[in-house]
Amino acid sequence: MKPVVLILCTGNSCRSHLAEGILRAAAGDLLEVQSAGSKPTGQVHPLAIQVMNEIGIPISDHRSKHLDEFLSRPIETVITVCGNADQACPVFPNQSNRHHWGFDDPAHATGTEQEKLAVFRRVRDEIRRVFEAYAAGRRDQTTLKT
């Protein structure tokens, strides 16, 4: 059984799905990656889906979930990607790691469609750098244990 990494944000519509898709692509063979929110919006933002398709990581099958869905599951690592989720985050059974890496919420971007897309791309790329580095570290840990 793979360790479960749960990525949390408030709405579970943008940042957590960007991170979930990127981490799953980078380390899905090592980790089960999920995302949820403390106050889920009920949708994955269409621009999040669009910018992830641009890098070849489809997330159109993701759904917005409440963190309560995971309270009875053994979660190894919780990663919050916004301050509100960090403050609202419960302790999960068997949780051994917790990280907080905050990112701007692209859902609050204003302006033209192109200006909004630019914000989504910037946040996606920031999340990609952090979560690909995290995946590489986890891969290194696994290699050292074997």
10-69 pLDDT, tens digit each: 999 999 999 999 999 999 999 999 999 999 999 999 999 999 999 999 999 999 999 999
Distance CA 143, CA 140 (A): 5
Are the C-beta atoms of residues 137 and 31 closer than 8 Å to each other? no
Query: Helix or strand or coil: residue 127?
Result: helix
pLDDT of residue 32: 97
Token couple for 135: 């995946």
Under DSSP, is residue 97 helix (H, G, I), strand (E, B) or coil?
strand
Give the distance between the most distant pair of CA atoms in the chain: 51
Q: Which residues are catalytic?
A: 9, 82, 89
Q: What pLDDT is recorded for position 75?
A: 92
Domains, the chain, with CATH or none: 4-134 (3.40.50.2300)
Model pLDDT for residues 105-115, shown as the tens digit of each residue: 999 999 999 99
For the segment 91-119, the average pLDDT, to the nearest whole number, is 90
Q: What percent of the chain has pLDDT over 70?
A: 93
Which ranges of the chain does DSSP label H, i.e. alpha helix? 15-27, 46-54, 83-88, 113-145
Strand partners for 11: none
